[in-house]
Amino acid sequence: MRDADVWEQSIVDNPTSYSVIAFTPQKGSRAMPEIPTFEEAFSYAKEVLEIDNRVRSCMIYAVNEYRNHAMVGSLHRQSGWKEVVRKI
pLDDT digits (tens, 9 = 90+) for 30-42: 777 789 999 999 9
Q: Which CATH number fits domain 3-83: 2.60.120, 3.30.379, 2.60.40, 3.40.50?
A: 2.60.40
Residue 87, helix vs strand vs coil: coil
This prediction has a pTM of: 0.90
Residues near 12 by beta carbon (within 8 Å), at least 6 away in sequence: 62, 70, 72, 84
Residue 1's pLDDT band (cuts 50, 70, 90): low
Q: Give per-residue pLDDT as tens, 20-72.
A: 999 988 887 777 778 999 999 999 999 999 998 899 999 999 999 999 999 99
41 phi, psi to nearest 5 deg: -65, -45
- Beta strand 69-76 with 80-83 is antiparallel
Instruction: Please list, in sequence order, all residues whose beta carbon lies within 8 angstroms of the beta carbon of residue 72, skipping any fewer than 6 positions away.
Output: 12, 18, 38, 60, 61, 62, 83, 84
Instruction: Give the pLDDT score at 71.
Output: 96
